[in-house]
Amino acid sequence: MNKFSLENKIALVTGGGGLLALQHASAILKTNGNLILIDVSKSKLSKNLEILKKKFNKKIHYFVCDITKEKKVLNLMKKLRKINLIPDILINNAAINYNPGSIKVKKFRLETFDIQNLTREINVGLIGATICTKIFGYEMAKKKYGIILNIGSDLSFISPDQTIYKKKNLKPNFQEVKPISYSIVKHGIVGLTKYTATYWANQNVRCNLLAPGGIYNGQPKEFLKKIKKIIPLNRMATHGEYEETIIYLISDASSYMNGASLIIDGGRTVL
């Protein structure tokens, strides 16, 4: 018996249009799982679907759904029930990640932080994850089998090093930062993981957290030079480097792992 196989398993990934979602999806498809991708953005979802279909040539189920709206997630669950696609696996991947360089600095520095940004990020990263856990996790509990994987970050455990975003000849109030909202959401998802891990444990529903470090995605050379210095392996992760870990976490290979956080960050959090 291959415990790493996802054959006959149905896996649903939220935030299906994102960069990390491609690794989740690839992990599921390469182990013969049935994949469901959902995202609020049809265009982002379409781009990832095109990439995955070229790579795997397998059927992928996909839906546009706003996970911050409980009624919409309930309606999606009804659709999935009708077509016999009740998830065995849920990956709570959806999140908002404002990258420094693409933001209005004043709205993200703590002293002038726009609280509406915090509300938006909590709605997706925590409330959305809780809604999906509530609805899909309960279906798993009823059939006494399920795996929930929450996606955290190395910043679920450490504070951002703001010096890696610092630019020369700029006054402090104009320096880019990693927003406080990201830390709040990524620390909060650890709490959701621990709570869920004990709630349905007697119904054979496990919940763990993957805490990845950053993925190389064409970041500026200046930024890469700085971040390498705070990662013992002296680099960011490459595309696809998390896939085997994801397979372990969402398969029966990790059958005795529950409520745990697996940090894969090149050693950054040990410094």
Give the pLDDT confidence score for residue 103 in this predicted structure. Answer: 63
Q: How far from the centroid of its chain's Cα atoms is residue 47's Cα?
A: 18
Q: How far is it, in rounded angstroms, from Cα 138 to Cα 78? A: 13
Give the pLDDT confidence score for residue 102 in this predicted structure. Answer: 61
Give the pLDDT confidence score for residue 42 in this predicted structure. Answer: 97
State the average pLDDT for the chain: 96
Give the pLDDT confidence score for residue 206 in this predicted structure. Answer: 98
Q: What does the longest C-alpha to C-alpha distance in the chain come to?
A: 61
As a whole number, mean pLDDT of residues 103-129 equals 93
Q: How far is it, in rounded angstroms, from Cα 24 to Cα 37? A: 10
Percent of the chain at pLDDT exceeding 70: 99
Interval 156-172: pLDDT, tens: 999 999 999 999 989 99
Examine the pLDDT at 104 and tell me if it is beyond 80: no
Give the pLDDT confidence score for residue 13 in this predicted structure. Answer: 98
| Alpha helix stretches (DSSP H) within 83-238 | 105-108, 115-122, 129-143, 180-199, 221-228
DSSP, collapsed to helix, strand or coil, labels residue 33 as coil
Interval 222-255: pLDDT, tens: 999 999 999 999 999 999 999 999 999 999 999 9
Give the pLDDT confidence score for residue 155 in this predicted structure. Answer: 98
Interval 42-94: pLDDT, tens: 999 999 999 999 999 999 999 999 999 999 999 999 999 999 999 999 999 99
- Mind listing the domains of the chain with CATH numbers? 10-264 (3.40.50.720)
Examine the pLDDT at 122 and tell me if it is beyond 90: yes
> Which residue in the block uniquely carries the two structure tokens 């709490």?
191
| Alpha helix stretches (DSSP H) within the chain | 19-30, 42-56, 70-82, 105-108, 115-122, 129-143, 180-199, 221-228, 243-250
